[in-house]
Amino acid sequence: IRSVVLGCGSYLPQRVVTNAELASRIETSDEWIVQRTGIRERHVAADGEFTSHLAINAARAALAAADVDPQSIDLIVLGTSTPDNTFPATAVAVQNGLGITHGAAFDVQAVCSGFVFALATADNFLRSRAFKRALVIGAETFSRILDWNDRTTCVLFGDGAGALVLEAQEQPGTVADRGVLTTHLRSDGRHKAKLYVDGGPSSTQTVGHLRMEGREVFKHAVGMITDVIVDAFEATGLSAETIDWFVPHQANKRIIDASAHKLHIAPDKVVLTVDRHGNTSAASIPLALDVAVKDGRIRKGDVVLLEAMGGGFTWGSALLRW
Ligand code: ACO
């Protein structure tokens, strides 16, 4: 049994904020941001546009691409750190928005690794035959938790959502078969102070703002990412040469380039969207997947490597045959 991808979709809020616009509000420049991060612009949600709204739009696009009826979905796993409310889970708002009242829907909170954690969770539920068809979503409105006066963080992030439809299919489950081949998840709470939000229901009763020691995050990122990708290669016998596409979490072009270089992944296999999306946390991987599927790069049967690293720290990888 395998969790096979039936389709993907994504959604970005209409409003685009360029580096030039940020430079008109805070002491920064297009040159600094592009050179350090590769980011040129990001999308920002409108007033009244919530994470669940972005997620519902992405889910509808994925369901249409997969050509499946929303009523056939019995599991929704949504990765987010910016839920509409403290509770209920944003996944339940998505379920309701799609008119689904059966099955289960819940959120997974692993910050930028949220999509990989959500995918691994859904994959395990499908392969255990607990559910048959899943929506796996990453959706964020990080613009709501940024300190817009802190130039060291506010230039890095954007809003958006992406979704995959996965189905449990009986099949031999060899590396040649389609579906999720392997997932590997890690976390280590000793790194909390390097990347966290300084608020929350139990601690301050405020939403809080994102705080980050960027250099410290950078220092750990490449090693953690490459370790967990080596685990994925060892589990499947695949390698940098035999994968077709590398779709990393889009935090920073320098982290992506350094990771690909260390793993000997050819630059033309790397899908990059950070220039137009910024870091959309749990949404960045499904947004990038959707771009590469729509423009014809990722095709049925291709081997796709995903990886993410973020607050916690959390990190993880997934290998799938599209
Ligand atoms: N515009 C202009 N100058 C800036 C800006 C800005 N937006 N932000 C910081 N600076 C200044 C700093 O004040 C500092 O000035 P100083 O030397 O006078 O003190 C100078 O630029 C250098 O600052 P550093 O923080 O050392 O710059 P660095 O080269 O490390 O780049 C960055 C910062 C881009 C945040 C980098 O550390 C990084 O990419 N870290 C990874 C963090 C990340 O991607 N996090 C995302 C979440 S985690 C994840 O998804 C993996």
- CB of 308 closer than 6 angstroms to any ligand 1 atom: no
Instruction: Find out whether 58 and 48 touch, Cβ atoms under 8 Å.
Output: no
Instruction: Quote the pLDDT of residue 133.
Output: 98
- Give the number of other Cβ atoms within 10 Å of residue 172's Cβ: 8
* Per-residue model confidence as pLDDT tens digits over 151-193: 999 999 999 999 999 999 999 989 999 999 999 999 999 999 9
pLDDT at position 274 is: 98
Of 217, 220, 285, the residue with max ligand 1 atoms within 8 A of its CB, to mutate for a pocket test, comes to 217
Predicted pLDDT at 266:
98
* Reported confidence tier of residue 99, pLDDT bands at 50, 70, 90: very high
pLDDT band (50, 70, 90) for residue 316: very high
Residue with tokens 């060291």: 152
Which long-range contacts (C-beta less than 8 Å, at least 24 apart) are formed by 66-73? 66/6, 66/7, 66/8, 66/165, 67/6, 67/7, 68/6, 68/7, 68/133, 68/165, 70/98, 70/99, 70/100, 71/99, 71/100, 72/132, 72/133, 73/98, 73/100, 73/103, 73/133, 73/134, 73/135, 73/165
Ligand 1 pocket, 218 CB below 6 A? yes
Ligand 1 centroid distance, CA of 200 (Å): 25
The ipTM (two decimal places) reads 0.93
Q: What is the structure's pLDDT at 268?
A: 98
- What is the reported pLDDT for 251? 97
- What was the pLDDT predicted at 228? 98
At 190, the amino acid letter reads R
DSSP assignment of 256-269: HHHHHHHHT--GGG
Nearest CA to ligand 1 atom 46: 251
Rounded distance from Cα 2 to ligand 1 centre (Å): 41
pLDDT in tens, 47-97: 999 999 999 999 999 999 999 999 999 999 999 999 999 999 999 999 999
Query: For ligand 1, atom 24, which residue shows the shortest CA distance?
Result: 215
> What is the 8-class DSSP label of residue 279?
B
pTM of the predicted model as reported, rounded to 2 decimal places: 0.97
Q: What is the pLDDT of residue 40?
A: 98
**Residue 31 CB contacts under 8 Å (≥ 6 apart), including other chains:** none
pLDDT the model gives residue 312: 97
Positive/negative CA dihedral, 71, 3, 232, 38: negative
Which residues are part of the catalytic machinery? Answer: 112, 249, 279
pLDDT tens across 257-301, in order?
999 999 999 999 999 999 999 999 999 999 999 999 999 999 999
- The DSSP bridge pattern shows strands 75-79 and 41-44 to be unpaired
Write the DSSP symbol of residue 142: G
pLDDT at 277: 98
Average of per-residue pLDDT values in the chain: 98
- 74-94 b/e (C-beta count within 10 Å ≥ 16 → b): bbbbbbbbbbbeeeebbbbbb
What does the pLDDT read at residue 73?
Answer: 99
Q: Is the CB of 309 under 6 A from ligand 1?
A: yes
Atom of ligand 1 nearest to the CA of 111: 50
CB 30 within 8 A of CB 19: yes
Ligand 1 atom 12: residue of nearest CA: 152
Q: What is the mean pLDDT of residues 206-235?
A: 97
Q: Which domains does the chain have, with CATH numbers?
A: 2-169 (3.40.47.10), 179-321 (3.40.47.10)
Q: With left for phi above 0 and alpha for psi between -120 and 50, is residue 124 left, alpha or beta? A: alpha
